[in-house]
Amino acid sequence: MTPFPTREASFLKVDRYGVLGAARSGQAAAALLLELGKTVTLFDDFAKEDDPACQALAQNGVRLRFGAPGGDLEDVQALVCSPGIPLDHALLEAAARRGLPVLAEVELGWLCAPLSRIAAITGTNGKTTVTMLVEKIVADAGLPSRAAGNIGLPLCEAIRQEPARLDQTVFALEVSSFQLDQTERFAPEVAVILNITPDHLDRHPTMEEYARAKERVTVNQTPEQTLVVNQDDPFCLAIAARARARVKRFSLERRVEDGAWLDGDLIVLEQPGRKPHRLMSMSDLKMVGLHNVANAMAAACVAEALGLGRGRLAQSLAAFRAAPHRMEVVGELNGVTYIDDSKATNLDAMRRAIQSFPGGIHLIAGGRDKNSPFATITEELAGRAVAIYLIGEAAAPMAAAWSGRIECVQCGTLERALEQAAERAKGCEVIMLSPGCASFDQFRSYAHRGEVFAQWVRRRLAAAPLA
């Protein structure tokens, strides 16, 4: 007898499981399998057996197989894969040769939550913001709500924390292409695809392959379920045309028949058989940028799909503030506004950030490149950026792409970039960290990078003379 109901699935009918990846998602999967009464082996090429969390799992019966090549699969009947594991990993190839079923951690969680309502949010940009918005809207409607997935709390762990309320909880689930790669039957009640633009092309060799990974969020949905898509994104439109689910759309550019659209300054909700509903003015939102208006519309579509009603929806959206490091205004000094958009780890996120201002931008960019086509954003940068202050490994290719049209300053470090930008920026201009790259060349994470930016600004604010 399992501690909670599960979906009928052959994957759950065997006894011996391997879990590939011993970070938080893998640990959560291993712990959940233990609660299901399974035998578990945890594999990782780089983890250390003295890690406290892994030691706790070992004390409960999980076998640890750490270090390259990570052991073998002789005593494994099925494999759970953590996100971020390379698709050509030796153990995944060994599982394929042996015909072993392989499943993503997020789908294991979904199999163990058949009574829960799940809204799964994916896309290149905006996933975290929309996930947090949905969590707030659901909670404001008076229902148990939990954000999980790529946002930081693995679904398997969230399920273990909510065993008594799984039949009441609505999970707002952020899912990345890495998490979707190994899904087979995953079919959330509501799926959301916010946008599909170049990113992770070091893992997905073509845009078409990247889009197919995102499409996995809806391929198993039924006509009784809902897909929310961006009407203004061509990849989303193509996916919507193939979907079996009911499709709700959101658009900044045109009216939609079922979903949300922007009529001048007004966000309007449309639903067949009902009068258009003027939800709110986009100026009522506390989030900066048109891309955040689109995020709010996507969240409103999810609320409609979940049948939450419109009574508190505008109030919930108006009260929401963007998460840290996502177009976050850190402060203003000498008339210059400092904005932390460290979460912008790809070019489309950078594009959306600079489109939020007509000009006067001192842009700090760079980091670890993901094979991004920097030249594609040159014209937009040239129209809005006063100068670009380059840091990290991508500084040279960025300069090669942009220096013919925009002044590019090689700074090396984030602190030096801030110093140079602060010396030059004038009143009513913006100094914005929107790197367009991953952070791992110089920082632990995008959050660490953003905090370094914010701490520098706060020190300057604290030292500034009182007006």
CATH code (residue 395): 3.90.190.20
Q: Which two tokens stand for residue 4?
A: 């909670």
Q: Which residues are paired to 223 by β-bridges?
A: none
Instruction: Compute the Cα dihedral for 212, 217, 219, 224 and give only its sign.
Output: negative
| pLDDT at site 114 | 93
The residues of the chain scoring below 50 in pLDDT are: 1, 467
Note whether residue 6 is domain-resident.
Answer: no
Per the structure, how many domains does the chain have? 3
| Claim to verify: residue 111 and residue 242 sit in the same structural domain | yes
Q: Domain end: 263, 284, 319, which one?
A: 319
Q: Which two tokens stand for residue 452?
A: 């370094």
- Tens digit of pLDDT for each residue in 82-119? 998 888 899 999 999 999 999 999 999 999 999 899 99
- Tens digit of pLDDT for each residue in 259-273? 999 999 999 999 999
**Cα–Cα–Cα angle for 291, 407, 402, rounded to 5 degrees:** 65
Reduced to 3 states (helix: H, G, I; strand: E, B; else coil), residue 231 is coil
Residue in 54, 192, 202, 51 with CA at minimum distance from that of residue 123: 192
CATH number (domain holding residue 30): 3.40.50.720
Q: Domain end: 319, 353, 372, which one?
A: 319
| Claim to verify: residue 91 and residue 111 sit in the same structural domain | no
Cβ within 8 Å of residue 73, ≥6 positions away = 18, 79, 91, 94, 95, 98, 100
Strands 266-270 and 259-263: antiparallel
Residue in 205, 146, 202 with CA at minimum distance from that of residue 437: 202
Q: How many CA atoms lie within 13 A of 25 on its CB side?
A: 26
Q: Domain end: 319, 342, 376, which one?
A: 319
Total Cβ atoms within 10 A of residue 352: 22
| Claim to verify: residue 210 and residue 284 sit in the same structural domain | yes
Cβ within 8 Å of residue 154, ≥6 positions away = 24, 25, 28, 29, 105, 106, 109, 148
| Claim to verify: residue 136 and residue 273 sit in the same structural domain | yes
In single-letter form, the type of residue at position 357 comes to F
Cα separation of 78 and 310, whole Å? 44
In single-letter form, the type of residue at position 89 comes to H
Decide: residue 41, CB within 10 A, 0-12 exposed, 13-18 middle, 19+ buried. buried
Note whether residue 371 is domain-resident.
Answer: yes
Residue range of the domain that includes 380: 328-461
Cα separation of 101 and 94, whole Å? 11
Identify whether the C-beta of residue 107 lies closer than 8 Å to the C-beta of residue 186.
Answer: yes
Note whether residue 467 is domain-resident.
Answer: no
Q: How far apart are the first and last CA of the chain?
A: 68
Q: What is the pTM of this model?
A: 0.78
Reduced to 3 states (helix: H, G, I; strand: E, B; else coil), residue 209 is helix
Cβ within 8 Å of residue 284, ≥6 positions away = 314, 317, 318
Note whether residue 73 is domain-resident.
Answer: yes
C-alpha distance from residue 226 to each of 72, 99, 195, 463, 464 (Å): 41, 33, 17, 52, 52
| pLDDT at site 206 | 85
In single-letter form, the type of residue at position 198 comes to P
Q: Which residues of 373-394 are buried (b: 16+ CB within 10 A; e: fewer)?
A: ebeebeeebeebbbbbbbbbbb
Strands 361-366 and 385-391: parallel
Instruction: Compute the Cα dihedral for 183, 185, 188, 191 and give only its sign.
Output: positive
- Cα radius of gyration (the chain): 23
| pLDDT at site 454 | 94
Cα separation of 182 and 20, whole Å? 12
Q: Which two tokens stand for residue 167?
A: 């039949």
C-alpha distance from residue 37 to each of 2, 16, 19 (Å): 7, 10, 15
| Claim to verify: residue 233 and residue 138 sit in the same structural domain | yes
H helix intervals, 253-346: 290-305, 313-319
Q: Which residues of 235-266 are buried (b: 16+ CB within 10 A; e: fewer)?
A: bbeebbeebebbbbbbbbeeebebbbbbeeee
| Claim to verify: residue 111 and residue 247 sit in the same structural domain | yes
| Claim to verify: residue 89 and residue 111 sit in the same structural domain | no
H helix intervals, 77-126: 90-98, 105-111
Residue where the block lists tokens 């309007």: 268
Q: Which two tokens stand for residue 403?
A: 């220096």
Identify whether the C-beta of residue 386 lies closer than 8 Å to the C-beta of residue 424.
Answer: yes
Element (H, E) at 173: strand 170-174
Identify whether the C-beta of residue 410 lies closer than 8 Å to the C-beta of residue 399.
Answer: yes
Which letter does DSSP use for residue 364 in this model? E
Note whether residue 395 is domain-resident.
Answer: yes
Cβ within 8 Å of residue 160, ≥6 positions away = 28, 31, 32, 35
| Claim to verify: residue 256 and residue 121 sit in the same structural domain | yes
| Claim to verify: residue 314 and residue 424 sit in the same structural domain | no
| pLDDT at site 71 | 64
